[in-house]
Structure 1
Amino acid sequence: MNTPAVALAAVFVLFALTGAGYDIMTRRIPNWLNAAFLVAGLVLVTALSGWEVGLSGLGHFVGALIVAMIIFALKMWGGGDAKFYAASAAWFPVTEALGLFVSIAISGLIVAIAWLIIFKVSGRKVAKGEKVMPYGVAIAMGGILTMLSNPTLGLF
């Protein structure tokens, strides 16, 4: 097991769970958290893997931010979710963009089903204008799955 890579994964998981927790509790992911997540990812990935991988992570961040802002403009998720997704993308080289996106999409489906079950069981109704599902949870889940399935970590 590669100790620096495991430490990198642990820091990623900590940021991801913090963002998911904020989204569940407040339906917001703070800008300071997204900024710290982005900077930590770029710095740690570059330190661990070299400037080429760090630069690829920066490119992934830019591409993810563009995609995320389109999704935000379509009102499919909030601005905090868009920034959270882009910040998480910075931790991965651009070659993992599709894998991260698919992992987050599948996680989104799982979270949506769980959220519907929770609402059905509790009998709670959605208030007009209320954000129903904390998509930051799906972004965190998908990112964690992508991080932990990284062969460099040797966990799976």
Structure 2
Amino acid sequence: MMRDHQVVFCAVASAFAAVAALWDIRTRRIPNLLCATAFAAGLLLHFGLDGWQGMLTALAAGMLAGGVFLLFFIAGGMGGGDVKIVAGIAALAGFSQLPYFLIFTGIAGGVMAVMLIVRHGVFRSTFKNLTVLMGHHARRGLTPHKELNVENKSTLRLPYGVAIAAGALFTLYLNGSRS
């Protein structure tokens, strides 16, 4: 696969991710149409530039990333739109970029979480809730905690679409700097 293709894949992924992030900030939701369009665009773009093999590896990237994030959704720690958009962005970025995208997204999400904790001054309660969640999931597996989950509007929540966009942008930057 040509290096130029990687930059194109990551640029388009970053554009979709930026739209998702803005939508997530404004509405706290990521539309299904945007997620489906990103996924389909990833498959078509990879097919157009790299043929069937490119399309199949884009499909694998989307399914793998979506599967990883699906675990967080099942456990009650993430919304469904985040899972769907990460699958679409991964399909766009491609399989070879998947480790970078997932690592950068995780780092961005962690940094955002720390910033949210600092901003709201909730160090002690966050640590307590983290230990409660670890105990809960150790005993009950991936079942959501009855109170500490993404559906509870009274808990601190962050628009994870922003972390996904940051992961895509850092992946694009990495590809651009290697060209």
Q: What is the CA deviation profile of residues 5-28 of structure 1, one whole-angstrom value per residue up to 9, with x for unaligned ones?
A: 655444322211110011111110
Task: Say whether the 8 Å CA contact 2:18–2:165 is kept in structure 1.
Answer: yes
Change (3 A) 1:3 1:95: closer
Counterpart-to-counterpart distance in 1, 2:156 and 2:41: 29
Task: Say whether the 8 Å CA contact 1:28–1:80 is kept in structure 2.
Answer: yes
2:75 corresponds to:
74
2:57 corresponds to:
56
Greater gyration radius: 2
After TM superposition, the structure 1 stretch with the greater mean CA deviation from structure 2, 137-146 or 2-11, is 2-11
Change (3 A) 1:96 1:7: closer
Counterpart-to-counterpart distance in 1, 2:155 and 2:85: 20
Change (3 A) 1:116 1:15: same
2:162 corresponds to:
137
Letter paired with 2:21: A
The normalised TM-score by structure 2 is 0.70
Identity %: 34
Q: Say which SS state the counterpart of residue 50 (structure 1) adopts.
A: helix
After TM superposition, the structure 1 stretch with the greater mean CA deviation from structure 2, 99-108 or 45-54, is 45-54
Could you list the runs of 4 or more consecutive aligned residues of structure 1 that deviate by over 6 angstroms after TM superposition? none
Task: Say whether the 8 Å CA contact 1:5–1:48 is kept in structure 2.
Answer: no
Counterpart-to-counterpart distance in 2, 1:12 and 1:55: 17
Please tell me the root mean square deviation across aligned C-alpha atoms, in Å. Answer: 2.4
Counterpart-to-counterpart distance in 2, 1:115 and 1:26: 18
